[in-house]
Structure 1
Amino acid sequence: MPPDELIRKLVAFADDHGAGGDPFPVGAGSMTLVRQRQPTLIYPVVYRPIFCLVLQGEKQTYLGSQTVRFGAMQSLIVGLDLPAQARVVSASRTEPYVALALPLDMALIRELALEIDRPGKSSPASGAVASGRADAAIVDAMRRLFELSQMPEAGKVLLPLLLREIHYWLLTAKHGAILRQVAEQDSHAARIARVIAGIRRDIAASLRVDDLAGDAGMSVSAFHAHFKELTGTSPLQFQKQLRLMEARRLLQAEKLSVSRAAFQVGYESPTQFSREYSRHFGLPPRADKAQGPSQAAL
């Protein structure tokens, strides 16, 4: 199927199901669809390991000082959990931003890496997020995954096979270096990934960089350097961003009070929390809570 025909099908699906700028579940393998008809302001986002295929339009993601751009017929691979900022920069009513996204199964990535003698070029990942051209194989596989969502009987048999195929293409992709690195049990990326998982599990815990470096089996200087290379920020700043993002979710989705949200994510002072929240999001927590969730797109 030519890309233009797939785009038309996806836009029609979004229109039929009332999907807007927020990720809309398609129903196959946790795939989501975004159809955005206008550019967005920069918004905060917490990425999980995910693959995003852009079919039309363009988006930018910001990690510290790093900017990753990806547009039509390009894909984004995120190999770690990390806070970031993003915006859709190219979208219109006649040519909307259209993208499909799929959460990555890192256990499957590691399993496939063991089965492949040379899963891809062994150059180290320069960051947890990378973009590159989407070749015909991955576009076709994502098309079939979308179509499978409309064939529930076939999905029972074919979905695991198709997900395995997609993960294979990503693992062997030129811009899939972060996946190959995380799949190596003792690589720097794998060690950082384990530390990040611990930070996310207990977001309110007090952190000491010495302890995190010990958990990663690295010296403090090496740990700090590798952490910043992959995530674009320092370990403590990383935790702060995660705390603020979780607090925002608690305020807007769980309707917690400002002080309760602050304490729940590890702040001892609601005043300090409000100050850092305002600096990060541009609004004090009460005003941001009243405004409601901002629109986000993959």
Structure 2
Amino acid sequence: MSIEAHSNTATLSSLQRYLATDIERRTRDHEVDISTAIKGLSLFRRNTPTEPCPCLVEPSIVLVAGGAKQLLVGDQVYAYNADHFLITSLNHPASSQILQASPEHPCLGLVLKLNVSIMTELMAQIQLHPPREREPEESAVIGSVSSGFLQPFYRLLCLLDEPNAIEVMAPLIEREIHFRLLQSDIAPRLLQIITAGSQSQRISRAIDWLKAHYNEPLRVEDLAAHVQMSSSSLHHYFRKLTAKSPLQYQKWLRLNEAKRLMVNQNYEAAQAAYTVGYESPSQFSREYSRLFGASPKRDVQNMRQSATKTVS
């Protein structure tokens, strides 16, 4: 190993330790995802491995400082650890799993929301162009960690100890992070994501429309026309990127919103069903049970009982 390579390795190793120590300190009394004073930045800690847990994936950068995780999107598996980071480019349901963690060596990390607008500006500023040969599009990608990539993340964490500096400094550091992404080994994939007219962009627009109109009747032909795709192409790429059809995705949105209404606003099951767009409460109950493993009433009762035990 050359002297330069050894120096880079030592720097990377040191940064990984600094990040792990800092996140461990900030999450010591928690085993959940923790929001921070920096908008779009959250921290996580898990002390034990887990089974795959359903989650809503947002466009984000996920960095692990200790332990290992994986994201499952349909049949696709994205495993990452302290040497690899995860980028997700769409809002869609998936499953997250902790692979390596213990009380002595917890799984620690952070999530920073991906800002496509910043990357678009940077792409124009440094005159980057998408590759001519298009790679298969996916909704997530794994990149390799480097010391240059980790340095701004560490400075972003340190800002949490300087609350008066966050408003001025955080946007600058986040811009650098996005610049480092465009210099990383996954830059070609990112350039595809942010290029107007790509399939990822069109599916992202379709998802945005579904989120805004989830409680309305859905005609796939109308959605395809809205994003300037054929119905067959929309269905193909939507399933490829999210592991669901547009109709399945709409159903997932409806059922999760109904669950939120019942838990947080005390809606009855039938009231929640009609509010999110179902015409038949019995159909709502069947589909809810298939997704969550229990009837609406039983599921809400279980959640409230679990919350009561946690508080006590």
Kept after mapping to 2: 8 A contact 1:46/1:82:
yes
**Within the alignment, does 1:168 sit opposite 2:182 as a pair?**
no
Secondary structure (helix, strand or coil) at the match of 1:253 reads helix
Shift of 1:30: 2.8
- Which residue of structure 1 lines up, in the alignment, with residue 295 of structure 2? 284
* Partner of residue 68, structure 1: 78
Partner of 1:149: 160
Give the counterpart letter for 2:18 in structure 1.
E
Question: What value does the CA root-mean-square deviation take over the aligned residues?
Answer: 2.2
2:256 is aligned with 1:245 = yes
**Cα displacement string for residues 206-226 of structure 1 (whole angstroms, at most 9, x for unaligned residues):** 111111111121222222222
* Larger gyration radius, structure 1 or structure 2: 2
Please name the residue that 2:222 is paired with.
Answer: 211
1:81 to 88, 91, 108: 91
What letter is aligned with 1:71? N
- 1:255 CA drift (Å): 3.1
- The residue that corresponds to 2:138 in the other structure is 127
Count of residues paired in the alignment:
292
Report the Cα offset of residue 75 of structure 1: 1.1
Aligned-partner Cα distance in 2 for 1:118–1:217: 26
TM-score (norm: length of structure 2): 0.86
For 2:37, what is the secondary structure of its paired residue?
A: coil
Q: CA deviation at 1:254?
A: 3.1
Alignment of 1:216-235 (within 5 A): 216-235=227-246
1:258 paired to 2:254: no
Percent of residue pairs bearing the same amino acid type: 34
After superposition, where does 1:11-22 map in structure 2 within 5 Å? 11-15=24-28, 18-20=29-31, 22=32
Counterpart in 1 of 2:51? Answer: 41
Displacement of 1:187 in angstroms is 1.7
Unaligned runs of 5+ in 2: 1-13, 308-312
Residue 199 of structure 2, aligned match among 166, 188, 192 = 188
1:106 aligns with 2:116: yes
Q: Which residue of 2 aligns with 1:2?
A: 15
Cα deviation code 1:93-136 (max 9, x no counterpart): 11111011111222222222222322675643531112222222
- Mean Cα displacement is larger for which, 252-261 or 28-37? 252-261
Runs of 4+ in 1 over 6 A off after TM superposition: none
In the alignment, structure 1 segments of 5+ residues that lack a partner are: none
Distance 1:120 1:56 in 2: 33
- Kept in 2, the 8 Å contact 1:121–1:174? The answer is no
| Amino acid of the structure 2 residue aligned with 1:167 | H
Q: Deviations over 1:10-42 (max 9, x none)?
A: 112212xx322x210222243111011112233
Deviates more, 1:127-136 or 1:248-257: 248-257
Larger proportion of helix: 2
| 8 A contact 1:56–1:71 mirrored in 2 | yes
Distance 2:233 2:205 in 1: 16
| Structure 1 length-normalised TM | 0.89
Distance in 1 (CA, whole Å) between partners of 2:188 and 2:252 is 25
Q: Which SS does the other structure have where 1:160 is aligned?
A: helix
Whose RCO is larger (CA < 8 A, sep 6+)? 1
